[in-house]
Structures are given as C-alpha cells and as structure tokens.
C-alpha cells in the first residue's frame, strides 16, 4: 500500500532523503494533513473525467490526492530541485505530468490544447505561494481559459478580500476584478499548524466558479478595470478625488463630475461603497467623455 505523502513523518523522510531546504523567496509551505487535502479536492468536485492544472506541487502532497480522482493532472513547478523529488513521490501515478516552468510565463492555452485534448471539464487546483497569489489568479482569470473554476489555498486575508461584498472593509479592486470573471466563495479555513514550515498567518481555501459571461456588461474591459483601480487608489478619498488624481491626464474634473452624476453616483461616495454594476455604468459614462483612441 502506498503511504500518503502528506503526513509529518513521510514529509520529513522525503525532505531528509533529498536534502531539501525551503526557499523563502519561493514561498514554500508544504501541507502535512491528508484530511485538508481531501477537502480541497472535494471543494473542486473532481471526477475521473476531470483534467486538473496545478501550480506549485511541492513534493506532490496535493498532486497525489488529485491524481487518485482526476483523469489527468498537469503541474507547473518552478523549483528545479523538486523535479527529482516529484519523479519519485509521484512514480505510482501515470496520469501526472510535471512542467518545469514559471506559470506566470507559461502559455496555458497551449498547455490545455496539448495535455487535455479529450477533456472538457478542467479545473485549476493549487496550494499557491502567498507572494504571487494575486498575479497568478488574475492571469488564470484574465486569459479566459476554458476552465470550470479554480480552487486554491491562499492567505486567509486575501481570500476574504477576493470574496468581499461592497461596503465591507475587505472590499476593493481585487474583489471586483476576481468577481467580474467568477463567483467567489471561501470554503475552508486552514490553520498554520498543518504546514511545514508553519506560515505566520492562517490560510483559507477559495473557490472561484468561472462565469459563462462577465458579471457586468462593459464595452471596454480594460478601461472598466482602470476606472475601479483608480477609485481605490486612496481609500480615504472620495471617488471624485480618486478619479481626478488617478484616472489619467486627459480626464478633467468637471467631466468626471458630470459622468458621476449621469451614473447616479454621489461624487462624495467612496469607492468601496460602489457595486460592480455601478462601476460598469460609471465606466460607460466616462468613456462617452474620454473615448479610447
């Protein structure tokens, strides 16, 4: 019988055998609790017809649990030192491929074409390094990949920000950006004690279910993003002041005020009180006055 990778004893044995030392710069924290890993796989609703993309397999703890249920698992690993480790730990599973690459530089559309030719149900499941959580999630969402969703272990505070609703202190540009592409929900809180080494903060499992259509309809997606990012530049400022100082050199204060009134938004409101729908209406009103060239 194959021993699970994600136990304290087996993890220690593997790390010692390969003389592996953790790199802080890569945000390496390995899970040592099989129950948590199974809960992550459950949250992703993985079946034998599912193809899975994983980011940062580490020594293969989550990869192993995914391989037991999925049709195929393709994992991106940036750390070359882990390749021989994964060769050994994942040897029992013939449905796993490891790609030695930085996922932020990878052509994931091409990977899907090559690796999942006869698979229509594709999920991203990962224990993400804290320091690159947002860039990775936004790349996965912005590239409009043919995936059903994303289930990731991330810093609890970031999970709260992504899933936040308007009017809460956690709500901000990241909430709108992620929720524009997907429905977001926090499904599990994970204590620091189930990692080696232990991070200084608690983690959470976030589930993003990709929408068939974006949450709101806009004629210029990049400008919509520009508008709400500018609106949160300084949370203590009103939306009018933030837009005047951060939207762009052409956008004059009187025109911005007019656009806010047209959109039915009080210029004294703060960005965190506006819903994605209000930002969509506002970006269209601004576009009328400042058309893109």
| Closest residue by Cα to residue 89 from 107, 53, 111, 63 | 63
**What does the DSSP assignment read for 6-27?**
-SHHHHHHHHHHHT----GGGT
CA 37 from centroid of its chain's CA atoms: 18
Other beta carbons less than 10 A from residue 16's beta carbon: 9
Q: Can you tell me the distance from the alpha carbon of 103 to that of 77, in angstroms, rounded to the nearest whole number?
A: 8
Per the CB < 8 A criterion, the answer to whether 59 and 75 are in contact is: no
Q: Cis peptide before 197, with omega less than 30 degrees from 0?
A: yes
Determine if residue 31 is labeled as part of a ligand binding site. Answer: yes
- Look-up of token digits 């990012």: 229
Copy the structure tokens of residue 82: 């882990």
Per the CB < 8 A criterion, the answer to whether 46 and 52 are in contact is: yes
Determine if residue 56 is labeled as part of a ligand binding site. Answer: yes
Residues 6+ apart with CB under 8 A from 265: 239, 274, 278, 281, 282
Determine if residue 213 is labeled as part of a ligand binding site. Answer: no
Binding-site residue numbers are 29, 31, 56, 77, 102, 127
Binding residues for S-adenosyl-L-methionine: 29, 31, 56, 77, 102, 127
């Amino acid at each position: 019988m194959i021993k699970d990778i994600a136990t304290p004893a087996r993890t220690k044995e593997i790390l010692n055998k390969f003389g592996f030392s953790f790199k802080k710069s890569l945000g390496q924290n390995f899970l040592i609790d099989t129950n948590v890993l199974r809960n992550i796989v459950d949250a992703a609703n993985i079946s034998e017809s599912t193809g899975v993309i994983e980011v940062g397999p580490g020594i293969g703890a989550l990869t192993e649990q995914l391989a037991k249920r999925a049709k195929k698992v393709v994992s991106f690993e940036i750390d070359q030192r882990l390749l021989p480790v994964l060769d050994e730990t994942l040897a029992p599973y013939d449905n796993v491929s490891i790609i030695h690459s930085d996922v932020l530089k990878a052509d994931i559309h091409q990977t899907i074409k090559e690796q999942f030719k006869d698979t229509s149900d594709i999920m991203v499941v990962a224990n993400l390094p804290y320091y690159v959580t947002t860039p990775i999630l936004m790349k996965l969402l912005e590239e409009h990949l043919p995936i059903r969703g994303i289930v990731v272990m991330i810093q609890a505070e970031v999970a709260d920000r992504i899933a936040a609703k308007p009017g809460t202190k956690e709500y901000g540009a990241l909430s709108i950006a992620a929720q524009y592409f997907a429905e977001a929900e926090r499904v599990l809180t994970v204590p620091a004690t189930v990692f080696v080494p232990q991070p200084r903060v608690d983690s959470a499992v976030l589930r993003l279910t990709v929408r068939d259509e974006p949450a709101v309809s806009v004629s210029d997606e990049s400008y919509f993003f520009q508008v709400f990012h500018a609106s949160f530049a300084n949370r203590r400022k009103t939306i009018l002041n933030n837009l005047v100082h951060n939207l762009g050199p052409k956008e004059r204060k009187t025109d911005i005020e007019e656009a806010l009134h047209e959109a039915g938004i009080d210029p004294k409101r703060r960005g965190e009180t506006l819903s994605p729908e209000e930002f969509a209406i506002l970006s269209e009103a601004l576009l009328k006055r400042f058309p893109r060239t």
